[in-house]
């Protein structure tokens, strides 16, 4: 991961680099923290899982604390108002119990956003309902204090956003209901919105939202860095076998559901062991990095490159049939795979499989078919590709 933010004026680069210290980010990564649409499915799914887990934890705590605080209402409000407040607390506690319940379901981003919004709406709704209950009452000093504390619930919502890994836009969107409920509360209390009277309170809410925004962005960036470190091979920059398998599983299920094509190319660098034995492992690492860069440059944006192990790579060609995969292989081979330490061009043996043509029932079967064809390419002379149906693409003379 880059250690500085590049491509922008010096002041912006320096400011943003220190803003997220000690984890330094690129300018592109900083933009990714502003909007929620640019992250990979792995990061979005992980963020959703973290969000749901934290919602459940907070909801479990509130499910206990909210009804317990009914004791305070009994002392500061007269009957039947304190009874109504207790009923509202029990209703809120029931909502918190439902949010904390470990439902068996997929942890999608949409589900995470839905339960987070539900959690955030409970306190301000309770605040507005409390206004209706105690409106017109002659309150004691302690009652007035309790009413003012209830008025802080929109601020509590904004502060609570700080514990979730969110982008700046997400924090802003989740904050809007809190501002709306606060303003509605002013009118319900007979206080038309006034810049002089309510400006300081709203400004404080903006500051709390800003802190929550910075905290959410920092958490998201740190989480993304950890996820990327786990899912990306540090040597080549390709996906690891584990993360590649997860991606392939998802793409295979989607392709099967939509009856769409999906191809994989199993790529094995020819004579790689001789590079390590003759020139050393450092040169072998350089060869793998060169091959990875060449492959990534030749693949389309929607394709995925996976380091399957050692000198073996798998290119996941999304929404690509067998003829389309052949075009991709031709383009990759024409661009070359880099050079060996002695200056000679590197070659690779490639096996291609396609979901429909090979009647693959799952992604391991698809990989197995491509792997088998890759070994067939090696046995028949290397520097070639074996495609579905037995079609062979020979790029050069047989390599002994």
Domains of the chain, residue spans: 33-231, 241-394
The rounded distance, in Å, linking the Cα atoms of 45 and 52 is 11
- What's the fold here for domain 241-394? Alpha-Beta Plaits (3.30.70)
pLDDT at 135: 84
Q: What is d(CA 270, CA 356) in angstroms, rounded to the nearest whole number?
A: 29
d(CA 313, CA 259): 26
pLDDT for position 2? 40
Sheet of 262-269: strand order equals 304-309, 312-318, 262-269, 348-354, 384-386, 392-394
Are the C-beta atoms of residues 91 and 60 closer than 8 Å to each other? Answer: no
pLDDT at 6: 44
The whole-number pLDDT of residue 174 equals: 96
Q: For residues 160 and 25, is the Cβ–Cβ distance under 8 A?
A: no
Question: In degrees to the nearest 10, what's the CA dihedral of 222, 228, 231, 236?
Answer: -140
Cα end-to-end span (Å), the chain: 39
Q: Provide the pairing of β-strand 312-318 with 262-269.
A: antiparallel
The pLDDT value recorded for residue 21 is 52
- Print pLDDT tens along the chain (400 aa): 343 444 445 555 555 555 555 556 677 778 888 888 877 777 888 899 999 999 999 999 999 999 998 898 898 888 898 899 999 999 999 999 999 998 776 678 889 999 999 999 999 999 999 998 888 788 888 888 888 888 888 998 999 999 999 999 999 999 999 999 999 999 998 888 888 888 999 999 999 999 999 999 999 988 888 887 888 898 999 999 988 998 999 899 999 999 999 999 999 999 999 999 999 999 999 999 999 999 999 998 889 999 999 999 999 999 999 999 999 999 999 999 999 999 999 999 999 999 999 999 999 999 999 999 999 999 999 999 999 988 899 987 666 6
Measured distance CA(82)–CA(62) in Å, rounded: 19
> CB-side exposure of 400: number of CA atoms within 13 Å?
0
The CB-side HSE value for 287 (13 A sphere, CA atoms) comes to 29
pLDDT at 273: 92
């Amino acid at each position: 991961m880059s250690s500085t933010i590049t491509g922008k004026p010096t002041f912006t680069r320096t400011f943003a680099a220190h803003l997220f210290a000690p984890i330094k980010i690129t300018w592109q990564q900083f933009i990714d923290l502003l909007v929620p649409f640019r992250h990979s499915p792995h990061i979005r799914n992980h963020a959703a899982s973290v969000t749901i887990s934290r919602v459940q934890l907070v909801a479990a705590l509130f499910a206990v604390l909210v009804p317990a605080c009914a004791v305070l209402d009994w002392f500061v409000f007269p009957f039947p108002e304190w009874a109504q407040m207790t009923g509202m607390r029990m209703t809120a506690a029931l909502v918190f119990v439902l949010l904390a319940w470990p439902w068996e379901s997929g942890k999608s981003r949409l589900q995470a956003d839905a339960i987070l919004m539900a959690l955030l709406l409970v306190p301000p709704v309770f605040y507005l309902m409390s206004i209706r209950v105690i409106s017109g009452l002659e309150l004691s000093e302690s009652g007035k204090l309790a009413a003012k504390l209830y008025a802080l619930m929109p601020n509590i919502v904004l502060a609570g956003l700080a514990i979730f890994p969110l982008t700046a836009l997400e924090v802003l969107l989740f904050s809007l209901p809190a501002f709306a409920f606060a303003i509605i509360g002013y009118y319900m209390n007979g206080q038309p919105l006034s810049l002089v009277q309510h400006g300081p309170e709203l400004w404080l809410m903006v500051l709390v939202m800003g802190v929550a925004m910075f905290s959410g962005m920092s958490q998201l960036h740190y989480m993304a860095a950890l996820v990327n470190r786990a899912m990306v091979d540090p040597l080549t920059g390709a996906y690891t076998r584990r993360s590649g398998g997860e991606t392939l599983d998802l793409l295979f299920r989607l392709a099967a559901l939509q009856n769409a094509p999906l191809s994989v190319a199993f790529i094995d660098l020819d004579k790689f062991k001789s590079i390590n034995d003759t020139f050393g492992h450092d040169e072998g690492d350089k060869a793998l990095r060169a091959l990875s860069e060449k492959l990534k440059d030749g693949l389309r944006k929607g394709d995925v490159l996976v380091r399957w192990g050692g000198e073996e790579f798998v290119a996941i060609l999304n929404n690509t049939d067998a003829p389309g995969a052949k075009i991709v292989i031709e383009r990759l081979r024409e661009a070359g795979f880099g050079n060996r330490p002695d200056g000679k061009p590197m070659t690779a043996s490639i096996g291609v499989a396609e979901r429909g043509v090979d009647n693959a029932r799952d992604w391991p079967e698809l990989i197995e078919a491509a792997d088998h064809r890759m070994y067939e390419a090696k046995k028949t002379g290397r520097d070639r590709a074996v495609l579905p149906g037995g079609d062979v693409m020979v790029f050069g003379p047989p390599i002994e």
